Structure 1
Amino acid sequence: MKPTRRAFTAGAAAAVSAVALPRYAKAAEFSYKIGTSTPSAHPFNKRLIEAGEKIGRASNGRMEFQVFPDSQLGGDNDILQQARSGAIEFCQPTGQILSGILPVTAVNAMGFIFANYDQVWAAMDGDLGRFVRDQIIAKTNLYPMERIWDLGFRQVTTSNHPVKVATDLEGMKLRTPIAPSLISMFRALKAAPVGMQYAEVYSALQTHIVDGQENPLSQVEAGKLYEVQKYVSMTNHVWDGYWICCNNKAWAALPADLKKIVAESLNETGLDQRKDVAALNDSVKGLIESKGMVFNDTTPDTFRAALTKAGFYTEWKAKFGDDAWTLLEKYVGKLS
């Protein structure tokens, strides 16, 4: 039987997760799992595995942190629900995915707000990130680590025509994650967003169920989307990151010394993961171009003006509340 692309990636994912299981003389007292939807070869998974190895060494095998990439445990929304219910211990939702249960977590993912990474890290390592983290702890049955990991700035890819100004999106069938803020943003830009899990994106593009999708370049490359897309429009429309979260009950079950080891390992490795994404962004464009994709720049002001006219910022300010919106504007300037 000829192996399928899905079977190959699943097998590769299993091999990657197995690396995160160092062997010690005694069985681990605590064995916790984290699922991701990210392809196995992505630096995000490699750093999660590295964090797991650190946890194993520092705890002398008392704590085991297993990584299951490539949607082995389900898509992003599935993994989030499993972690909240306690079926698994850890998840890595983005702010947009979390916003389905706690809208304020999408405050960093408003359209066209961050000009660069200096603004992103000032906000997310500062007062805005602390505010969001406190809300997650209080309202979601999850305990997030202090440092948010980098997913990156998102770009639009298409099969039919490039996107240069806001009107180029009108009527376009565009895959997005099942994330209310993203769906709302593209509707405000008069596109036709279709929410679906990442594992479904390749086939949806291949069969033209959708015309395009939006993701950071690293996800475009890791998911081989260059095989089914032609244009990459550098919209930089949203920045988002991964909150590495533990189920509250599972976190409370850990002794204080293991909590310290887990938190320090994940937070320190998260800073290295940010450097990985910065380096990857510098190299992946050329790699994707070599696969035949055509890049174009955009005119960001047209998108922001269209969102303002459609009432997008006003709508989401009301959903987030004045406290969160004031903290956001502290870092990015006035939006509404």
Structure 2
Amino acid sequence: MPTRRTIVQGAGAGLLLGPLASRRARAAPDGVRLSMGSPMPQAHPATTCLVEALDAIRAESQGRIDITLYPDSQLGSELSMQSQLRSGAIAFTLTSASSLQTLAPLAGIPGVAYAFSGYVPLWAALDGGPLSERIRDALKAFGLKAFRVVDNGFRDVITGTRRVETVSDLQGLKIRVPPSPLLTSLFKALGASPTTINLAETYAALQTRVADGMENSLPQIEATRVYEVQKYLSRTSHSWDGLWILAHGRTWDALPGDARDLIARHFDNAVERQRHAFVQMNSAGEARLRAKGLVITTPDRAPFRAALERAGYYAEWKARFGAEAWGALERYTGPLGA
């Protein structure tokens, strides 16, 4: 359920806050009413931290900035929400880097398989520097304002049919992936049969064996409760994915400066809280999932990366992203591929 009633866009309301309030703002006592879509479930830390941020924005502006969050794909699939955002039908969205790749290809580059060794180089790459600048510029070209990236974790494989301990165990496996060319390419290169299914429909797809398994982070596996209909969890950590907080550029630019400052500050604080909560949730997640009956293994990841090299995965994506962007990525990851 949304946190409040459905609202209409009002970026042109001329809102100013506190001592900066003008006659124009006072003439529009209802202030700014905006909406935000998200694919994340209610229990995901991205949802809980954003709800806190939106409540703080509402309180600090004395109700004059009212942003309603619609989580759990209530406004449609990620691709649908991206389309709504670009048209200005909604003002904000939270959307995965992997699905954004279908719009702005460079947005998917942090998800290159086995690229980042951990969070230190990852956040260095995405919180500033040449790689982050290139991604933000790519999104800006589509009229989107990008804030900081919410963590959605290093991704593992969960299945109901068989353990995944070696590359051969993936052969022919029907595995759910988001609408990401990079993840689709990754699993095809490993011999699986990736299929795109909306996140909100994944539980039913796994329960009815439309798919044999899915790949996602531990907190996402917990939040979607797919462990109830799956049996085996393989800690492959094959790719990282994050969620960009995005705004419709013209709606954002039409807000007064103090309103933008207030929203940006609370979004930034929400990202910090979310990343911390996600790490805590992830570190304790394996024990919780094991207690729920999942059989958990941690395969040697080197053969998976070697199989991708042999399949030409890294060479393909270097060519598709371009040598300049690939070089920006390798500043933080070291050499990728042969």
Q: How many Å apart are 1:322 and its aligned residue?
A: 1.7
Name the counterpart of 2:218: 217
Name the counterpart of 2:297: 296
Asked if structure 2 preserves the Cα contact closer than 8 Å seen for 1:20 and 1:52, the reply is no
1:158-237 residue pairs with structure 2 within 5 A?
A: 158-237=159-238
Q: What amino acid maps onto 1:133 in structure 2?
A: R
* Cα shift readout 1:185-237 (whole Å, capped 9, x = no counterpart): 11111100001110110111011111100011111111110111001100111
Please, which of 98, 104, 117 is the counterpart of residue 96 of structure 1?
Answer: 98
Name the counterpart of 1:268: 269
Q: How many Å apart are 1:58 and its aligned residue?
A: 2.8
* The 10-residue stretch of structure 1 (36-45 or 147-156) with the greater mean CA deviation from structure 2: 36-45
* Distance (Å, rounded) in 2 between the aligned partners of 1:59 and 1:142: 24
Name the counterpart of 1:9: none
Asked if structure 1 preserves the Cα contact closer than 8 Å seen for 2:39 and 2:95, the reply is no
* Cα shift readout 1:148-192 (whole Å, capped 9, x = no counterpart): 111111110011111122221111110101111111111111100
* Cα shift readout 1:230-277 (whole Å, capped 9, x = no counterpart): 011001111111110001111111011111111111012101110000
Please, which of 53, 70, 83 is the counterpart of residue 68 of structure 1?
Answer: 70
* Distance (Å, rounded) in 2 between the aligned partners of 1:322 and 1:87: 36
Q: How many Å apart are 1:27 and its aligned residue?
A: 4.8
Name the counterpart of 1:56: 58
Task: Give the match's secondary structure for 2:95.
Answer: coil
Asked if structure 2 preserves the Cα contact closer than 8 Å seen for 1:104 and 1:319, the reply is no
Q: How many Å apart are 1:18 and its aligned residue?
A: 3.3
Runs of 4 or more off by more than 4 Å in structure 1?
none
Name the counterpart of 2:133: 130
Give the aligned CA root-mean-square deviation in angstroms: 1.8
1:21-40 residue pairs with structure 2 within 5 A?
A: 27-40=29-42
* Distance (Å, rounded) in 2 between the aligned partners of 1:316 and 1:134: 20
1:134-149 residue pairs with structure 2 within 5 A?
A: 134-137=137-140, 139-145=141-147, 147-149=148-150
Corresponding pairs, count: 317
Name the counterpart of 2:4: 18
Asked if structure 2 preserves the Cα contact closer than 8 Å seen for 1:174 and 1:210, the reply is yes
Asked if structure 2 preserves the Cα contact closer than 8 Å seen for 1:156 and 1:213, the reply is yes
Name the counterpart of 2:316: 315
TM-score by length of 1: 0.90
Q: How many Å apart are 1:285 and its aligned residue?
A: 1.6
Q: What amino acid maps onto 1:130 in structure 2?
A: E
* Cα shift readout 1:73-118 (whole Å, capped 9, x = no counterpart): 1121111111111111111111111100111111100111111111
Name the CA shift for 1:153/1:193 in 2 (closer, same or farther; >3 Å).
same
Q: How many Å apart are 1:283 and its aligned residue?
A: 1.8
Q: What amino acid maps onto 1:98 in structure 2?
A: L
Asked if structure 1 preserves the Cα contact closer than 8 Å seen for 2:114 and 2:238, the reply is yes
* Distance (Å, rounded) in 1 between the aligned partners of 2:170 and 2:146: 35
* Distance (Å, rounded) in 1 between the aligned partners of 2:135 and 2:157: 27
* Distance (Å, rounded) in 2 between the aligned partners of 1:188 and 1:239: 17
TM-score by length of 2: 0.90
In our comparison, the structure showing a higher alpha carbon Rg is 2
1:229-268 residue pairs with structure 2 within 5 A?
A: 229-268=230-269
Name the counterpart of 2:110: 108
